[in-house]
Amino acid sequence: MHRRTVLGGLFAVASVPALSACASGITSLNGQGSGTGGGGSSKGGVTIGTANFTENQVLGYLYAAALKGAGVKVTVRPNLGTREIVIPALRGGDIDLLPEYQGALLNYLDPKATPTESGEMQNTLTQALPAGLQVLPYGIAEDSDAFVVTRETAKKYGLTSLADLKKQNGKLVIGAAPEVKKRQVGAVGLQDVYGVEFKEFKSLDSDGPLVKGALQKGDVDVANLFTTDTDIQANGWVVLTDPAHLIPSQHIVPLIADRKADDTVRKALARLGNLLTTAQLTELNRQVDKDKKDPADVADAYARQHGLVK
């Protein structure tokens, strides 16, 4: 579920578009989102896109189940790729809705933004979004980036925090998705914030079998994974702490085009956001990655169990 799909030229990799301020920001599920819409309608259906890793696909199908339960016609286009692909697709009208992560999205839009607390981040996101897009209220569940080492590597080099990596400059190999090499919550930020320099950056996949296999075999010393990944605990891997707060809050947040953000969509996604916990999301990821279940089936089963669909 971590492969990358090439979409026949539909989505060109684009640079971050010019940003324009939106109106206002609400910071909790009791609010109404970023409030830039007003003329949106889901009557013609909503197309949901997802990034190219398991959890985002699960979230996309959860969004679909919640919207179907509210009577909205839904199409899911999973596994499209990274933000460099899916956000231009959202702006261009090829898709209408994305499951996103507060801190990572803000860093993509404005790498110099400093908020790390969820409420402040939601307001800052509202101001950073391109015209025509808005974030709806963020949910309970969250999933952050994590930089992980094996117990053996932690013991060998005395690693407990990201700050410790600097002591081994030029010695360690990091493995991650290719885009992490250029991201603030990645190699750039590790150097800027902690002064870390790696021997090599290996471009692998996003929290998938390639990067986890490389970590397990010792082909990389440090891996960029997600905190909801059950393999971390199962393998006894060590998540390096982040004393300088490089990694921001990462609550799940719907990113939607104004054209589709009507009350029906808002209420359905807020209901899901109020319901889905981090522990539940972690378990759904496990069912896909470990039990090899289809993400659509996993999401539908959760939606039925929790009354999102009849």
Per-residue pLDDT tens digits for 3-26: 333 233 333 333 333 322 232 233
Collapsing DSSP to helix, strand or coil, 166 comes out as helix
Q: Find the distance separating the first CA and the last CA of the chain, reported in whole Å.
A: 28
Cβ contacts of 155 within 8 Å, gap of 6 or more: none
* Listed range (21-25, 245-249, 287-291) with the worst mean pLDDT: 21-25
Pair type for strands 133-135 and 200-203: unpaired
Q: What is the pLDDT of residues 32-83, one digit of tens each?
A: 334 444 568 999 999 999 998 999 999 999 999 999 999 999 999 999 998 9
Taking residues 184-189, what's their average pLDDT? Answer: 93
Res 39: pLDDT? 65
